[in-house]
Amino acid sequence: MSILEVENIKFSYSGEQLYQQASMRLFEGEHAVLVGPNGTGKSTLLKLLDKSLKPDAGSINWMANKKIGYLDQYAKINPKLLVKSYLYDVFLPLFEKEKEMEKLYLSVANEPEEKHERIMHWASDIQEQLLDSDFYQMKSLIGNIIHGLGLQMDILDMQIKHLSGGMRAKIILGKLLLENADVLLLDEPTNFLDVKHIEWLTKFLNGYDKAFIVVSHHEEFLMDIAQTVFALENGQISRYKGDYLFYLSERELRIAQQEKAFVTQQKFIKKTEDFIKKNIVRATTTKRAQSRRKMLAKIERIKAPEQSRNYHFHFPLSRTTGKDVFISNDLEIGYSDSLLEPLNIAILKQEKVAITGKNGVGKSTFIKTVLDIIPKLAGEYHWIDTAHIAYFEQESKFEDGITPFQVVHHRYQHFTKKDVMSLLGNHGIDYEMATRDINTLSGGEQTKVRLALLRHQKGNVLILDEPTNHLDFAAKEALKDALINYEGTLILVSHEKEFYQDICDYEISLYEPEE
């Protein structure tokens, strides 16, 4: 049975038409993924399904009385709340039922004996509801999810404001999983998860007996969870009833068929237009020409298949460094207490190093410490004096109302308009994207703008903190090639082993200090 009906929706974002008479259906219990290149409107579609946005035309209808759970990693949360208060909020209706049950049991002593059986029956009914809702396994359930997402139970007593970006995202995801919604809408749920925690989430979703739609650029994850694939193509939502590998092969066939049909139709259109031009002015053939003109006006035009964007990522450097690029001696990092064992690290010229470790362990804190963004707690570190550092921060926000063109032009004021547009174009940002508010772009498109800013810094030390978050497959491959060819020293923070293992010479794994 269909739990969701989307019919003929249209939606424009800052003048860009994302969907044109697009339709889709989701069935009860269906495990689906939503795919498409950056900028095709995947996150926007989830917001439309969640009804936090409204379509310009068409309709989106959910089956009545269905609970929809939407993962919004940018949701506003009261920073003063304790994590346990935020998570336990899921169970507030059950807590209220428990209070009602306790009042009923206490009221028995004050009621006539003839009412006792009825009161006890009501209380027993409530207790059955609590048992059916796993209320008494609440702490066990929360513990399972917290550990599954790579967190520790002591996080429950922390305030939201003290969480790292990754920890905060996990708590939001954890609460959503606790709610047991009829449909989960998950936008990039693996962005802050390590391999073993992605495996846990995969197992959780595969065992979920209700429906979900997941947006992710993590292909192995998609392969493991997809039973149906929805693909955003040419403003439409195409349905592929099969797993992700089926989608890849079937898509190639559909593209080939569409290309063939497009070429055939274009030849027919040209032949018909030539006939009209030759015969429209002749008295003996004008009626035939007019008839064909009417026929041509009614024909449904086949669109050319969308071409994959070409990316030209490149990180040149103007000069090299000496041998010992970075050295730390008993370096301790953190905000009040040390997050890690004292760090003794040596990174040499042209080495490519992956900084790894579980989420929340302090990878970004390490980077910000050695860049003097936050102070060290103890120990020493030293950069060689010829180091010229180009840095890509994991989380970076832009001002409202500024365009990608303005962002680049502000950084490189000597650039001509042509220079700016060429740089953005090489990173997959076309004219339309370059000239609208950058905060209306997708996360992947914003990442590409930030990568474009690095090209002309010509850093001989390149530090990238989780650069693949939000990037589509083609952009990831282009970035991987650029980093393999980079001639300077690379420090790469990444949780995607399949990305960094072909780039880096070795890993530096960060661990929490032993108790």
Transcribe 42-107 into DSSP letters.
Answer: HHHHHHHHHTSS--SEEEEEEPTT--EEEE-TT----TTSBHHHHHHGGGHHHHHHHHHHHHHHHH
- 207-216 pLDDT, tens digit per residue, is 999 999 999 9
**pLDDT value for 456:** 92
The CATH code that applies to domain 68-243 is 3.40.50.300
Low-confidence spans in the chain with pLDDT less than 50: none
Beta pairing partners, 237: 232
List every span in the chain annotated with CATH 3.40.50.300.
Answer: 68-243, 324-509
Sign of the dihedral defined by the CA atoms of residues 348, 351, 356, 361, in that order: positive
Beta pairing partners, 462: 390, 490
Count the Cβ atoms, other than its own, within 10 Å of residue 304: 12
Query: Is 0.85 surpassed by the pTM of this model?
Result: no
Residue type at 183? Answer: V
| 31-35 and 228-233 beta bridge pairing | parallel
**pLDDT value for 280:** 82
Indicate the helix (H) or strand (E) that contains 18: strand 16-27
The residue assigned the tokens 């028995």 is 108
The CATH code that applies to domain 324-509 is 3.40.50.300
**pLDDT value for 307:** 66
| 16-27 and 211-215 beta bridge pairing | unpaired
Contact present, 333 and 366 (Cβ < 8 Å): yes
User: Rounded to 5 degrees, what angle do the CA atoms 347, 350, 352 make?
Assistant: 65
- 438-471 pLDDT, tens digit per residue, is 988 888 899 999 999 999 999 999 999 999 988 8
